[in-house]
Amino acid sequence: MIDHTSQILVTGGAGFIGSNLVHQLAQTKARVTILDNLVNGKSQNIQALLNEKVQFVQGDVRNLDLVKSLCNNVDVVFHLACLGVRHSLKNPHENHAVNATATLNLLDIAHQAKVKRFVYVSSSEVYGTARTVPMVEDHPTYPMTVYGASKLAGECYTRAYFESYGFPTVVVRPFNSFGPRSHHEGDSGEVIPKFMLRAMAGKPLIIFGDGKQTRDFTFVEDTARGILLAGICDEAIGQTINLGQGNEISINELAREVGEAVGVIPNIIYDSPRPGDVLRLYANSLRAKKLLGFAPKVSLQTGLLALKTWYLQMDIPPELLLQSERPRNWE
């Protein structure tokens, strides 16, 4: 139960999914502390929420003294702070330090501080390419990047704290999320915002590989709701839980869907495949339904329109936003 008496810590809370989670937590009237070093997060993602109950601390999750001071009297930790998949291709050690080592340290500190629930936000990237679909949580894990490997290490530490010490932890594995506040820029840039801005600017969409690779896209408000439920439902403790839409779509089909949302027939350019690119992801979310009562509410098409509206409301020309886009953003 999370209510006005609860004290919550959200690491990575100024990021894409984290800020959506904080928006939902703010509605519970809980006291929320957001820890984010803004390396990829943005203060404007959370600005409107800050008040005496929702506080922002700009700092690094690797700073043990800071993390210790923030875990005092906390009921629930939602741990989302991390560096991304493309970052890991060029900076494997830093990626590991933030995603894996900092998770172990945070678990240790939260356990000592007697935090009542620890929700670790992992990733479908821990699976690697699907061998059987839809992918259940017992599907083999075979990460293809240091990002996926470091997220898997983080989940293993999280489960180990449950098994060894009875610390009430939950691991959730979101599949690819999309929607407002997603990243188009730099090495954080994701396919849907990049496609959409390019379509809005009348520029070609760039597909790496043959476009037959598939993903299971979930609207970010659904993903955030699933994460929040993992912090509430007692049945989730000690469990590992997929959070996905349950629909598989190829990147070729996605390009068409984005074009339709924008109202254009997009021009497509094919480029060589991305290193470590997973070929197939398709979630089975039955466990989330059973344990959390989770069911995604927003379809891909509705979510794409919501993203387009968000860009239009920003009132910044897509051409200007695209100045921070890097097409081959792992190099």
Ligand X SMILES: NC(=O)c1ccc[n+]([C@@H]2O[C@H](COP(=O)([O-])OP(=O)(O)OC[C@H]3O[C@@H](n4cnc5c(N)ncnc54)[C@H](O)[C@@H]3O)[C@@H](O)[C@H]2O)c1
Q: Which residues are catalytic?
A: 147
**Count of residues binding ligand X (CB under 6 A)?**
30
CA dist 117 and 111 (Å) reads 9
Residue 127's closest CA among 116, 143, 151?
143
Least Å from the CB of residue 106 to ligand X: 10
Which residue from 6, 88, 177, 214 is in contact with ligand X, where contact means CB under 6 A? 177
Which residue from 128, 168, 174, 244 is in contact with ligand X, where contact means CB under 6 A? 174
Report the 3 state secondary structure along 180-237: CCCCCCHHHCCHHHHHHHHHHCCCCEEEECCCCCEECCEEHHHHHHHHHHHCCCHHHC
Any contact of residue 239 with ligand X (CB under 6 A)?
Answer: no
Least Å from the CB of residue 154 to ligand X: 8
Least Å from the CB of residue 184 to ligand X: 12
Cα torsion angle, 213, 282, 301, 151, sign: negative
Which residue from 6, 103, 145, 188 is in contact with ligand X, where contact means CB under 6 A? 188
Any contact of residue 172 with ligand X (CB under 6 A)?
Answer: no
Any contact of residue 36 with ligand X (CB under 6 A)?
Answer: yes
Any contact of residue 16 with ligand X (CB under 6 A)?
Answer: yes
Which residue from 6, 18, 75, 111 is in contact with ligand X, where contact means CB under 6 A? 18
Q: Which is nearer to ligand X, 5 or 299 (CB)?
A: 299
DSSP 32-62: EEEEE--SS--GGGTGGG-SSSEEEEE--TT
Cα torsion angle, 49, 54, 58, 62, sign: negative
CA dist 61 and 118 (Å) reads 15
Q: Which is nearer to ligand X, 58 or 132 (CB)?
A: 58
Binding marks (x or -) toward ligand X, 148..167, rule CB under 6 A?
A: ---x----------------
Which residue from 33, 123, 214, 242 is in contact with ligand X, where contact means CB under 6 A? 123
Least Å from the CB of residue 222 to ligand X: 12
Cβ–Cβ < 8 Å for 249, 217: yes
Least Å from the CB of residue 331 to ligand X: 19
CA dist 304 and 199 (Å) reads 12
> What residue ranges in the chain does DSSP mark as E strands?
7-11, 31-36, 54-58, 76-79, 117-121, 169-174, 177-178, 205-208, 214-215, 218-219, 240-243, 249-250, 268-271
Q: Which is nearer to ligand X, 29 or 97 (CB)?
A: 97
Task: Kindly compute the dihedral angle of the four CA atoms of residues 84, 88, 94, 98, in this order, to the nearest 10 degrees.
Answer: 30
Which residue from 10, 15, 100, 189 is in contact with ligand X, where contact means CB under 6 A? 15
Q: Which positions from 43 through 62 interact with ligand X, judged by CB under 6 A? A: 60-62
Least Å from the CB of residue 104 to ligand X: 14
User: Where on the chain is the footprint of ligand X (CB under 6 A)?
Assistant: 12, 14-18, 35-41, 60-62, 80-84, 98, 121, 123-124, 151, 174, 176-177, 188
